[in-house]
Structures are given as C-alpha cells and as structure tokens.
Structure 1
Amino acid sequence: MKNVLGNWTVKHRVFVVEALIKNNGSVIVTQKYFCTHFGLDRHAPVSDRITILLWVANFGATGSALKRKHPGRPRNARTPENIYGVGESVLRSPKRSAVKNASVVHSLDRNVRRILQADLKFHPYKMMVVQELSKRVWENCKSCCNDILQNVPENGVLITSDEAHFNLCGTVNKQNVRHSAVP
C-alpha cells in the first residue's frame, strides 16, 4: 500500500488520523481498522505507533498529516539573483574556472557548480585536441615506421614513447618523444 518512494499516501494518512480520533487514541485498534478498510492481511506492513502519533501531532499543529518542512536555515544559494549573477559571470569570461567564478560572485564554489549544472545546464568537459589524419599523412607515418623497423637488428627490441605536451597557444613540446632500439 506504499507508493514508489516508500511513503504513505495522503489518503492513508488522513484515514489513520481520522481512525485514531474515532477510536479514542488507540493505535492498535487504528492499525487493525486500517488493514480491514484497505483489504490488507494481518501480516501486511502498516505504519507503526510512533509514525501514527507523529501524523496526528502534525495534523494538530499544521492542519495537515503530511511532513512538516524542515525548520532549518532557509536556502539562499540558488536564488534567481545568484543564478543570474553566475550566468553573467560565465558569459563575460567563459574560460574562467568555477572556483574563480565563485570568488567573483561571492559564493561557494560548490554552489556555483550546482547552479551551473542544475539551473544553467552547463556541464564540465575537458578539451581534447585531435588531428584528423589525411591519406597522405597516414602513408608518411606508415613509411616512417617501416624505416625505423628496418634499422632495428633482427633480435633487437624497439621501445617507443609518444608523449608530447600540447599547449593552448598551438605549440607542441615533443621533448618526451623518444625512439630507441636495443640490440
């Protein structure tokens, strides 16, 4: 009789509050009456004593058997003003990180990330520079590899590494590219 989220429906809560009041506060009689009214067998899960009394207390205090809102501090990180401020900050400097945007809008970086993802539908990604190899370049690479393999002794071992650092300005640091043949 529970819904998908595991909570009792409003219909069930209202019935339990009314039944408890009619039965002069007897929780056990209310639980039995609940089972017979909703056609449940005696082993079916029903709400326990503490839950029933909480529903009645909520009904007496607020006029509703639903959960009361948490009395904690009101949330103010994702206000429309903050969402607008983060959006403007990102549009002004799209390459600025979330941490730097947080300092600009005077907020926490996790709040800025939450605004970027949940409200503005931005998602982090890492830029990858990939070159498309043309037919001519592919043939050149293939012939270069064949030349290297011809220079390696018959029982030798070829060790290669193709690490290189690509900078955003377009320069390539090939200092880590090594080709070595071991006889």
Structure 2
Amino acid sequence: MASYTIEQHVQMIKLYYQNECSLTQTLRALRPFVGRRGGPSKSILQRLVAKFETTRSVNNQPTPVRSRTARSAENIAAVRESVQQNPRQSIPRRAQELALSQTSTWRILRRDLGLHPYQIQLTQELKVDDRRQRRLFADWASNRLEESPSFGRKIILSDEAHFWMNGCVNKQNCRIWDDTNPHEVHQVIMHPQKVTVWCGFWAGGVIGPYFFENDVGEAVTVNSERYTTMITNFFGPILNHMDLDDMWFQQDDATCHTANATIDILHERFEGKVISRRGDVNWPPRSCDLTPLDFFLWGFLKSQVYANKPQSTDALKVNITQPIAQIQPDLCGRVIENWTTRIRSTVRSRGGHFHTDVIFHT
C-alpha cells in the first residue's frame, strides 16, 4: 500500500463500494486508471479495505520506531568518558561499572562512538646492540632495493619451527559450573610429541617441508650435522633445478646453522650471497619480524594444521605438507612485497620495531 498515493487509495475505496464490495469488479474498474499491470493485487486491495473499515483512514501509517533507552545520549557520554580514562578496560568490566548490559556497551562503542578493538602486538625484546645491527642490515637491503626493485624476489629465506601434538588447556579461562566441586583433573603429557620442520621461502613459492626425524619417524634436535645433511641431501638437489644467478640465501644465527661445514656448503652454492652470521652479510639477531616464515608462514600453517585435531605425528605431518603444497606463488610474491615494506620501515625506525600498519594480512 505504501507505493500508492492517498488519492489513489481514496479512488480504490470509492470503486470498491460502487461495485458492491466486489474485489474482482473493483480491480477491473481500476484498469482505465492504472492499466492492466499497474493495479494493486487482490490481497493489497483487501488489506486497504480492512484498514479503512477499521480506522476510517487510508493514510500510510509510519512504522513505529522503538525508542532507544540504553543507548541514550547520557550513556553514550558516560561510555566515551570511561574509554578516555581507561581505553584498556574490558567490555564486561566497563559494562558492570556503568550499569549497562555488555551488548549495549558494545553497540555504543562500535556504532555510536565508532571505536574498534585493537590487539596488542607482541614483539621480541631487542638487546642493547640489536638496533644497530638491524639498522645496518635494513640500510644494506634498502640500498639493494633502490638499485634493483626486484631484489626481494632474489632471496631464499629459511627457518625451522616446532609443531606440537598436544593442545593446551588454559585453566584461568576454564570453568565448570556445578553445585559441588567435581575436582576434575586434566592430565598432560610431560614430553608431548612434536615434529620439527624446515622450510625455505621465496617469491616463487615454498621449499619444503623437511622434517628433522630419526629412522623411526621421531623428531630430533637440529644440530649442525643434521642441518648440514638437510642442506646437502634435501635442499641441494632442489637448487640444482633453480636458476641461482643473483640468488641470495638467508638463515638466522642458530649455532647449528653456522657450523664450518654448513657455511662452506652455502658459500659454495651461493658464492658471495649468504645472509647469516659468518656469511657475506650479517643477519641481525632477534629479527623474526623480518622473516616471512615467522611473520607469515608459521602462523598461516598453525591456523590450519590443528583444524581436524590430528591424533598422530604422521597425521600432523600430512596437515603441514598439504597446506604448503597449496600456497601459490602469487601469495608468496605479496608476502615478499610486505617484506620490502618492513625493510623500509626498519630504516625509518632506525632499527627499532616498526608500526603495525605493515603487518601482513592474507
């Protein structure tokens, strides 16, 4: 009924009574005025007649708007003042102090004040000399990017990570509601199973995974001998099928990475292009925010690996291998673009932590 004017409503009512209250005859009588396809349906006409006979009016009544009580101007001002005094306070505690429901408090924060909940960014603590070393590396990488904008696509960055079998129970957030204490105990394994995986990352894709394990498939500690074996027997054959012209290799400063045998092999494979302690360019310690495997790959994998709750290390390894195989080069390229942004941000921060606007989102 809202699509017709009041005059049209009056015309419909007149024709309805002129045609002895016949809906069919009324609709036919309306055709000269509204056309065959422009008239109302029988149900609309029936509702209009019922409305007229009940209220003696054909006016379009506005939909009543429910008045807001919790989100009043006074409550909005109170929430605004509360946020200004303590922006870190939780919604439940804030709502309790202001005598509001949590839902109303959330709506005021988001819809009326336009605020957003931001998480604290956790970063690794920098030691006394770290800023200088990070600045030196960032200056060097930035200069290389100035000389060749595609420099970031010519680096293979590498790292290892542990994937544990057991989930964890946060007893601070776990509550059991009952009228008596059930004295429930959650047993945890003293030494839970894990897999240790190595990957290489570059603009063309992900190299790996390689699992450090013994003959029976159990995870082993990464030492210099095992790392050198991986470089020789796993990484080396892959490099044979890659164009290594102008290609750099990066690794962190773990002791197993910088053993004489390993460094010698890397220098032979990447002559003059090894980024590592005892390499051609020093890699700054405690710089996981500059490694795509730390700021992207490991988090990306761990968000998927445990989705189906693997019950064995074999299932865990499958859950690691499959997502890696699905990562496309275009995604790796975007990650490397973010890496170059991080390098420039490190230059601007003079080796310190950079602003969170360069965090990579998939």
Give the shorter-chain TM-score range: 0.5 to 0.7
Q: Distance in 1 between matches of 2:81 and 2:107?
A: 15
Relative to structure 1, the CA distance from residue 22 to residue 130 in structure 2 (aligned partners, 3 Å threshold; closer, same or farther) is farther
Q: Distance in 2 between matches of 1:62 and 1:84?
A: 45
Q: Distance in 1 between matches of 2:81 and 2:56?
A: 41
* TM-score, with length taken from structure 1: 0.55
Greater RCO structure (CA 8 Å; 6+ sep): 2
Q: CA deviation at 1:74?
A: 4.8
Partner of 2:22: 26
Relative to structure 1, the CA distance from residue 115 to residue 27 in structure 2 (aligned partners, 3 Å threshold; closer, same or farther) is farther
Equivalent residue letter for 1:85:
A
Q: CA deviation at 1:95?
A: 0.8
Q: Distance in 1 between matches of 2:87 and 2:12?
A: 60
Q: Distance in 1 between matches of 2:56 and 2:100?
A: 35
Q: Does 1:124 align with 2:114?
A: no
Once the two structures are superposed, what CA deviation does each residue of 1:106-145 show, in whole Å capped at 9, x if it has no partner? 1111111111222111123334356996442697xx9xx6
Partner of 2:45: 52
Equivalent residues in 2 for 1:53-72, closer than 5 Å: 53-58=46-51, 61=55, 63=57, 65-67=59-61, 69=63
Equivalent residue letter for 1:61:
T
Equivalent residue letter for 1:31:
L
Partner of 2:82: 89
- Cα root mean square deviation, aligned: 4.5
Partner of 2:107: 114
Q: CA deviation at 1:57?
A: 4.6
Q: Distance in 2 between matches of 1:62 and 1:82?
A: 42
* TM-score, with length taken from structure 2: 0.32
Using the aligned pairs only, state the percent identity.
23
Counterpart pick for 1:103 among 96, 103, 116? 96
Equivalent pair of 1:14/1:65 in contact (CA under 8 Å): no
- Moved beyond 6 Å, runs of 4+: none
Q: Distance in 2 between matches of 1:84 and 1:19?
A: 51
Partner of 1:171: none
Once the two structures are superposed, what CA deviation does each residue of 1:18-59 show, in whole Å capped at 9, x if it has no partner? 412442143334434455423343xx683442x434344545
Equivalent residue letter for 1:152:
T
Relative to structure 1, the CA distance from residue 85 to residue 16 in structure 2 (aligned partners, 3 Å threshold; closer, same or farther) is same
Relative to structure 1, the CA distance from residue 103 to residue 54 in structure 2 (aligned partners, 3 Å threshold; closer, same or farther) is farther
Q: Does 1:38 align with 2:34?
A: yes
Equivalent residue letter for 2:24:
I
Equivalent pair of 1:10/1:66 in contact (CA under 8 Å): no
Once the two structures are superposed, what CA deviation does each residue of 1:124-180 show, in whole Å capped at 9, x if it has no partner? 3334356996442697xx9xx69x79952222689xx858xxxxxxxxxxxxxxxxx
Q: Distance in 2 between matches of 1:124 and 1:79?
A: 22
Q: Does 1:155 align with 2:233?
A: yes
Bigger drift between 126-135 and 77-86 goes to 126-135
Q: Distance in 2 between matches of 1:125 and 1:40?
A: 58
Give the unaligned 5+ runs of structure 2: 125-130, 141-154, 160-223, 236-255, 257-292, 299-362
Equivalent pair of 2:109/2:115 in contact (CA under 8 Å): yes
Partner of 1:136: 137
Aligned length: 148
Q: CA deviation at 1:94?
A: 0.8
Q: Distance in 2 between matches of 1:22 and 1:129?
A: 75
Give the unaligned 5+ runs of structure 1: 1-6, 164-183
Relative to structure 1, the CA distance from residue 134 to residue 117 in structure 2 (aligned partners, 3 Å threshold; closer, same or farther) is same
Equivalent pair of 2:51/2:58 in contact (CA under 8 Å): yes
Relative to structure 1, the CA distance from residue 26 to residue 37 in structure 2 (aligned partners, 3 Å threshold; closer, same or farther) is same
